[in-house]
Amino acid sequence: MMEDKEILRARDFWGALVLLAVSVFFLWRTFDIPLFGDNRAGVSTASWYNSAAIVPLGIFSALLILSIVLLIIAIRDGGAARALSAVGIGWDQAEALRFTTIGVILFFYVAGLVPRVDFIACSGLLITALTFGFHKGLPERMILSAAAVAVCGLYALVMHLSQSEWGAHDDDIITLAMWAIMTAVVVLNARGDRVLKAVPVIALIAPVLLVCAMAFGFRQNVPNRGGILFKQIEYHYYVTLRPIWRS
Amino acid sequence: MEFILTQLSGFGGAFWALASDPLTYIYLIISVFLGITFGALPGLTATLAVTILTGFFGNKVPLDYSLIALLGAYVGAIYGGSYPSILLNIPGTAASAATAMDGYPLAKAGRGGEALGLTTTASFIGTLIGTLALLVFVWALLLLSQNIASPEKALLALFGILLSGTLMSEDLVVKGWIAGLIGLAMAMVGLDPLLSEPRYTFGWSYMLSGFQVVPVLMGAFAVPQIIEGMRHMDVGKVTELKGRILPNTKTVKRYLPTITRSGVIGTGVGALPGVGEDVAGWVSYGVGKTVSPEGEKFGKGSLEGLLSSETANNACIGGALIPLLVLGIPGSPPAAALMGAFKINNIIPGPTIDPAIILRVVAIMVLASLTMFIMGLFTARVFIKILRIPQVVFLPIVMVLTTIGSFSVGGGINDLYLMLGVGFVAYFLNMLKFPIAPLVIGVILGGLFDETFRRSLLISGGDLMVFASRPVASILLALNLALIMSQIPVVKRAFGHLRRRII
């Protein structure tokens, strides 16, 4: 318990330093907003209380003061003394690997795949990778899952960075292929494991249901409407299925 | 008397309009079911249930159905947290943490059915007590709030953030305040509300409209939960459910004073800005332990202990809606998510809210609690099966839900980047034991605080005494100052000294 508190104070030491830097940076940026004597949007900001900077100035000053308070508490409780050692801040290699791999998966999913790749394909890959990678807590599976999503995400990012290229389908095919490979890996490891046996079904059904509910039920925009799978679903919904009940 | 009759007839009209619409029941059953499921799955919270459903129902269906979906999920999720508390000794939501203290020993003693049945009944009565308070007090407060002007609003917003920061911190109070300030700072991004001056946009046009509430909510509540929950964990052994779930009328009658007391406490705690159901549960449990003749049995399988926390956390919902509807200040983290839904529907909660909306909210709460009661008593075994699903199966689906929900509300990829960025920051803040609720409340109330604070100064020509010149403003200013002073070590010591002398 005591050990936990000491670790927390060591982390607080670094946290307070980051907060200090952030508050100083934003305080400096706040002075870009006219504080005295300007005339903006037809309103004279000759008086300090007219300025748009007054509230942010107060907020970042308060943040600066509270960061200093936190820093003092951390130093007083021995946080600074422990802050430079890995043991001191409670560094856990397994936990760091777990966080890094999840971070990589989420980053490439959101930044690389969702804007550029068919939503069903990339979400299927995400569900397969996350469940397979973290179900048993095995490091090699975490790395494999992160690599699978990262390869597809990186390809989509590098090959189709600008928005004008998001309609291309080569990244869809690569993601689909990766999803198939990951599914095969899951099936091969699924003997006696009920969770893994369910993964391929969940990874297919969940994104299809969600995207169809959103697009046809709520009639909302969904990511990448021109994706290789969703385009077909949308076409058959409007051309094949809808006329049946419309007529 | 006339006031009460007018209220009741207005409520009757709203209730009948909703009850006679078949679609109401479809939304109710789906949302309460989803709510209980979210509450029952350890790792998912009531706030997350309301946040995710905001992405789906927030602005895509007529407002009545949207409110049914969100309030149904809210009521269901707070109740659903009791399942794993009683059967697994793991609170499904923070609100049910106190429930586990007595619920699990009862289940182990073979009284799980009785505990679940009474919990369901207590949650139902608790929700009704909170709803009744909402119906009565919201009107009285609405009349009072007509006299609340910019200085009071600014001080109230600040009080909400400070109070939430103070009560939600599990480590240092200063961390709660820092979280609130980070939220306030995030609300400063974009064009300022009075002069349209761009602030911290860094030349990016997306930032001109400021941070959108829904992606921030999704990022703050969903992403850290997903990162934290994606780990190997054996699903705990679900205690076998013995005994009938339908409660015995005699037992309910016997514990009615406890249920009523806890309902009133829960409503009162909920009405405090920014304080959630978990605090309500613990406060009521603490009071119950002190005043109950069987106080020494609390924590060892006491039905009174169980009912104290379970009634209060559900009663807190009605209480939390009072400051939300009257002042536009959320009473709890799920109410903050609900406020996000109001915002995307262009409804500004506060003194100018359409009274018909309040009556509909009350009617929906009654219908939702009834649905929860019926589902709780007759489909409990379905929810017990859900407890066996490991987190690694449902959290990836939550990520997909969050992504598509966040995207469809704003309709842009930038919202997803914002969601992910906020999510990573919130995860690190969680790791450092900074509470997240004050941050979200800061984001939601930041615009209101900025606008009303500056408007007060503009009206008074820069005279800071404007914040102390009116009676309500003076009281609020005193409360804010007292809250800050109470955390300063010198003041704390002085008060401790004084208290010891008096005793």
Partner A contacted by B154 (CB < 8 A): no
How far A160 CA lies from chain B's nearest CA (Å)?
15
Q: Label residue A42 by pLDDT band (50, 70, 90).
A: low
Phi and psi at A191, nearest 5°, equal: -60, 120
- Please tell me which residue, B6 or A112, carries the higher pLDDT value: A112
Dump pLDDT digits (tens) for B144-174. Answer: 777 788 898 899 889 888 988 888 888 889 9
Which range (A170-174, B24-28, B409-413, B480-484) has the least confidence?
B409-413
Quick one: pLDDT at residue B11? 86
Q: Which residue of B192, B414, B463 to mutate against A (max A Cβ within 10 Å)?
A: B192
Taking residue A1's Cβ as centre, other Cβ atoms within 10 Å add up to 5
Percent of chain B as helix, strand, coil, to the nearest 5: 75, 0, 25
Q: Label residue B97 by pLDDT band (50, 70, 90).
A: confident
B120 secondary structure, DSSP code:
H
B110 secondary structure, DSSP code:
I
For chain B, domain boundaries: 2-467
With 70 as the cut, is the pLDDT of residue B236 above it? no
Closest CB to A66 among B181, B416, B433: B181
Beta strands (DSSP E) in chain A are 38-40, 43-45
Partner B contacted by A187 (CB < 8 A): no
Cα dist from B340 to B330, B334, B343, B449, whole Å: 10, 10, 5, 16
Mean pLDDT, rounded, of chain B: 87
Q: Label residue A38 by pLDDT band (50, 70, 90).
A: low
Q: B185–A110: do the CB atoms touch at under 8 Å?
A: no
Dump pLDDT digits (tens) for A189-204. Answer: 998 888 899 999 999 9
Partner A contacted by B407 (CB < 8 A): yes
- Distance CA(B332)–CA(B55), nearest Å, equals 19
Judge contact between A121 and A181, C-beta under 8 A: no
- Distance CA(B320)–CA(B274), nearest Å, equals 8
Q: Which chain A positions have a beta carbon within 8 Å of B195's beta carbon?
A: 40-41, 43, 45, 50, 52
Pairing of strands A43-45, B198-199: unpaired
**Closest Cα partner for A171 from A149, A152, A145?**
A152
Question: Which residue type does A94 have?
Answer: A
Q: A8–B171: do the CB atoms touch at under 8 Å?
A: yes
Q: B432–A43: do the CB atoms touch at under 8 Å?
A: no
Partner A contacted by B228 (CB < 8 A): no
- Distance CA(B172)–CA(B435), nearest Å, equals 10
pTM of the model: 0.86
Task: Rounding to the nearest 10 degrees, give the CA dihedral for residues B409, B414, B416, B418.
Answer: -110
Partner A contacted by B417 (CB < 8 A): yes
- Distance CA(B448)–CA(B464), nearest Å, equals 18
How far B6 CA lies from chain A's nearest CA (Å)?
37
- Distance CA(B416)–CA(B407), nearest Å, equals 6
User: Average pLDDT, stretch A153-165?
Assistant: 92
User: Average pLDDT, stretch A144-158?
Assistant: 96
Quick one: pLDDT at residue A23? 96
**Closest Cα partner for B28 from B60, B59, B74, B95?**
B74
Partner B contacted by A223 (CB < 8 A): yes
Partner B contacted by A157 (CB < 8 A): no
Tokens of B322: 């009072």
Quick one: pLDDT at residue B81? 86
Q: Label residue A58 by pLDDT band (50, 70, 90).
A: very high
Tokens of B85: 């508390």
Q: Which chain B positions have a beta carbon within 8 Å of A53's beta carbon?
A: 199
Quick one: pLDDT at residue A235? 93
With 80 as the cut, is the pLDDT of residue B351 above it? no
- Distance CA(B15)–CA(B11), nearest Å, equals 6
Q: Label residue B325 by pLDDT band (50, 70, 90).
A: confident
- Distance CA(A39)–CA(A192), nearest Å, equals 73
Quick one: pLDDT at residue B411? 64
Of the ranges B129-143, B207-221, B222-236, B413-427, the best mean pLDDT one? B413-427
- Distance CA(B172)–CA(A12), nearest Å, equals 11
Partner A contacted by B462 (CB < 8 A): yes
With 60 as the cut, is the pLDDT of residue B419 above it? yes
Quick one: pLDDT at residue A207? 94
Q: A218–B396: do the CB atoms touch at under 8 Å?
A: no
Quick one: pLDDT at residue B21? 92
- Distance CA(B426)–CA(B445), nearest Å, equals 18
Q: Which helix (H) or strand (E) holds B191?
A: strand B190-191
User: What is the sign of the dihedral through the CA atoms of B54, B57, B59 and B60?
Assistant: positive
Percentage of chain A with pLDDT > 90? 63
With 70 as the cut, is the pLDDT of residue A41 above it? no
Quick one: pLDDT at residue B330? 82
Q: B174–A52: do the CB atoms touch at under 8 Å?
A: no
Interface confidence (ipTM) of the complex: 0.92
